């Protein structure tokens, strides 16, 4: 009886394990971010001891790893490991339909799995044309060739930090992939002026790290992010409401706005928009209906939004300038250029971020700078203070779904600490 009971217990336990594994598999294939899945990924650190190499148990082989030298033939490599000319001939014939040995390139990595004898004999030759693919040339028993792909794992990863000098240094010190910096600056392009990151600005990013054989192989998407810039909090939550990758704030508003925060990488703002200022060249009071960005001659100037070039010409006061009409509401103008960007002329379409010219001091200017002017509905307005409408928010019918995702991601972001010790930065990576 006792035996039967423990037998039943074992069966139930196995069923339970199967259920657990099944649940994990379900969660992994689920595209939505369920709170528990995120928590699980953040909390568990999984370190698998590497016991398999390309699916082969590493203990059973002597492993030779090398790169193909220039003008080196496969026969030359393999003949050292007791592979006969006959086998090499057969291999080259059989490889043609799968991955021709004549396509093997110099400087690429190969691995030979040999018998563990005093005179090792090659059993498998493995070639890696790129980070994902690998070709197995089987030499043991019968000769076979197969093209395989590595599995890409996605690990949800978090990184946080307080900026001391630059975002780049802070993020790379925190162990983040440099690609993440680019992605983050895209997510917050309309909220954070990445040309003007301040000391003390803070960030937390929750993103997908891609792994191939436990080696970092790029990043996936940013799932959620927080940025404190100039003492303002900004949240970004990834959500696809059917129109592709979009980031929304905690209120379901899109982070996409229509314009870049600034049209160039500048040294300082030398003059702001004002109805009355003392003109340094004219030596009298005059309204300044633009923003002057001081920057070295030759600094690229970018269109702050998509649009059509309305004017690209020279005038006595404006010097070489470009005026862009973005839509029926907004127009921007860029003055004192040393030269125009390639292909910039009247009537040409430009896209946001496109270089339209280079900083200069043509026209009425006492030094190299860009005078940037902004029109809203035909009125000149202050580009630094103009309120711009966001792009499409989360649709009403997706709002409940979004709120669940958003709350989960914000909770995760809030649980990440900056871990500051005095003035020094300590950021960390959870895997």
C-beta nearest to Zn ion: residue: 371
Q: Name which of 208 and 292 has its Cβ closer to Zn ion.
A: 292
Q: Name which of 134 and 374 has its Cβ closer to Zn ion.
A: 374
Q: Is 290 in the site for Zn ion (CB under 5 A)?
A: yes
Total number of residues binding Zn ion (CB under 5 A)? Answer: 3
CB of 292 to Zn ion, least distance (A): 4
Q: Is 319 in the site for Zn ion (CB under 5 A)?
A: no
Query: Going by C-beta distance under 8 Å and a sequence separation of 6 or more, which residues neighbour residue 159?
Result: 171, 174, 175, 176, 180, 204, 205, 207, 427, 428, 429
Q: Name which of 371 and 406 has its Cβ closer to Zn ion.
A: 371
Q: Which of 38, 95, 292, 365 binds Zn ion (CB under 5 A)?
A: 292
User: What is the token pair recorded at 341?
Assistant: 């960007």
Partners of 178 in the β-ladder: none
CB of 360 to Zn ion, least distance (A): 13
CB of 366 to Zn ion, least distance (A): 11
Residues 214 and 153: their CA atoms lie apart, in Å, by 8
CB of 422 to Zn ion, least distance (A): 42
**Burial zone of 226 (CB within 10 Å; 0-12 exposed, 13-18 middle, 19+ buried):** buried
Q: Is 301 in the site for Zn ion (CB under 5 A)?
A: no
User: What is the token pair recorded at 224?
Assistant: 């959620």
Binders of Zn ion in range 352-371 (CB under 5 A): 371
Q: Name which of 201 and 292 has its Cβ closer to Zn ion.
A: 292
> Can you tell me which residue has the tokens 């990595």?
109
What binding mask, one character per residue, do residues 370-409 give for Zn ion by CB under 5 A, x or -?
Answer: -x--------------------------------------
CB of 315 to Zn ion, least distance (A): 14
Closest CA to 167 of 191, 198, 205: 198
Residues 410 and 406: their CA atoms lie apart, in Å, by 6
Closest CA to 179 of 144, 145, 205: 205
CB of 424 to Zn ion, least distance (A): 41
Residues 407 and 252: their CA atoms lie apart, in Å, by 11
Cβ-contact 198, 166 below 8 angstroms:
no
Which residues of this chain interact with Zn ion, rule CB under 5 A? Answer: 290, 292, 371
């Amino acid at each position: 009886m006792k035996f039967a009971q423990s037998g039943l217990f074992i069966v139930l336990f196995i069923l339970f394990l199967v259920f657990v594994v099944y649940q994990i598999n379900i969660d992994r294939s689920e595209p939505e971010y369920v709170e528990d899945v995120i928590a699980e990924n953040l909390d568990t650190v999984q370190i698998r001891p590497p016991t398999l190499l390309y699916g082969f148990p590493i203990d059973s082989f002597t492993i030779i790893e090398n790169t193909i030298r220039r003008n080196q033939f496969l026969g030359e490599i393999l003949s050292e490991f007791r592979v006969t000319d006959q086998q090499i001939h057969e291999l080259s014939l059989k490889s043609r339909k799968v991955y021709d040995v004549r396509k093997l390139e110099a400087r690429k990595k190969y691995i030979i799995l040999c018998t563990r004898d005093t005179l090792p004999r090659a059993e498998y030759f493995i070639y890696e044309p790129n980070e994902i693919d690998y070709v197995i040339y089987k030499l043991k028993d019968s000769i076979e060739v197969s093209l395989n792909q590595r599995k890409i794992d996605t690990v949800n990863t978090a990184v946080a930090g307080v900026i001391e000098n630059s975002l780049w240094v802070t993020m790379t010190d925190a162990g983040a992939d440099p690609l993440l910096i680019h992605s983050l600056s895209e997510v917050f392009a309309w909220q954070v002026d990445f040309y003007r990151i301040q000391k003390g600005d803070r960030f937390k990013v929750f993103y997908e790290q891609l792994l191939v054989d436990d080696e970092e192989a790029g990043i996936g998407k940013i799932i959620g992010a927080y940025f404190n810039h100039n003492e303002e909090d900004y949240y970004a939550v990834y959500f696809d409401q059917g129109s592709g990758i979009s980031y929304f704030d905690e209120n379901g508003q899109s982070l996409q706005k229509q314009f870049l925060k600034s049209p160039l990488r500048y040294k300082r703002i030398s003059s702001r928009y004002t109805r009355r200022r003392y003109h340094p060249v004219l030596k009298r009071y005059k309204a300044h209906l633009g923003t002057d960005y001081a920057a070295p001659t030759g600094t690229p100037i970018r269109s702050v939004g998509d649009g059509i070039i309305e004017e690209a010409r020279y005038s006595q006061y404006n010097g070489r300038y470009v005026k862009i009409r973005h839509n029926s509401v907004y127009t921007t103008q860029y003055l004192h250029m040393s030269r125009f960007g390639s292909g910039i002329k009247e009537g040409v379409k430009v896209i946001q971020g496109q270089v339209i010219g280079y900083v200069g001091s043509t026209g009425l200017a006492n030094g190299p700078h860009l005078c940037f002017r902004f029109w809203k509905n035909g009125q000149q307005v202050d580009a630094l203070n103009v309120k711009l409408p966001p792009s499409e928010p989360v649709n009403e019918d997706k709002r409940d779904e979004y709120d669940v995702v958003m709350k989960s991601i914000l909770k995760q972001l809030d649980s990440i600490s900056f871990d500051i010790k005095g003035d020094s930065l300590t950021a960390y990576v959870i895997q």
